[in-house]
Amino acid sequence: MSSTSGTTLVADRVFRTLCEDVLSGRYEPGEKLPTQRTLAADLGVTMTAIREAVKRLEQLRLVEVRHGDAMRVTDWRTDGGLDVIAHVLLRGGTLDRATLAAIMEARCSMLSEVGRLAAGRRSDAQAATLLELAGRIAEAADAEAAQALDFAFFSVMVESADNVVFVLVMNSIRQLYFDQAELFRAVVADHEELAPVYRRAALAVKRGDVEGAAARVREIAAAQESRLTAAIG
């Protein structure tokens, strides 16, 4: 292993440790973190690893570093973005069920509105792609294949909605969804049963039926939320 790779692995470990300390409330918003030199000594790592880890914390807006001042913890609930969700969801390596429920609730509401917008804004090519993907979901060989097709279906739906904010949200969700693919695989459990609803959603979008599209997409998302909730117990 190269020294660069080794440093990156150490920085990852330091980042996870400090991220957990901030998200768990060990350090309160506004509180000063120990100096980088102190952290390096306490954790037994190099200053390079500490600097890399702190840079990632800054990118997530979990800490604020000011020249000539100590690092201060921010309030991730008011300053954080969607990229914090993955770390909150699996805080300390343990699934946070409340956060998962919030993710699925927000997903259901967002996708319903996406369906509504898509029905009024889709291109003919996008409508055709949605119908094609709905058919492929019905024929998916297994849950893993159905999961990839499900995400592709909703990605095209979001593109059809022609709203840049929803596109950016989907980009953030993509990484979480596939990084934790096994966790979310339950959303496509018994995908053959839901396949007709994907088709009805796609047809509603093609017809320009905004209310019908919203209702069918919500039906899919709500069913997926129920499947995931049942799977995790």
Asked whether the CA dihedral 30, 33, 36, 37 is positive or negative, the reply is positive
pLDDT score at 3: 52
pLDDT score at 1: 46
Q: What is the DSSP string of 72-114?
A: EE--HHHH--GGGHHHHHTGGGS--HHHHHHHHHHHHHHHHHH
pLDDT score at 80: 86
pLDDT score at 125: 98
pLDDT score at 4: 58
pLDDT score at 53: 93
Q: Walk along the chain (233 residues) in steps of 10 and give the mean pLDDT of each run.
A: 67 92 90 91 93 93 81 90 87 84 93 98 98 95 93 97 95 85 88 94 98 97 92 82
Q: Which domains does the chain have, with CATH numbers?
A: 3-80 (1.10.10.10), 86-232 (1.20.120.530)
Instruction: Give the global pTM.
Output: 0.84
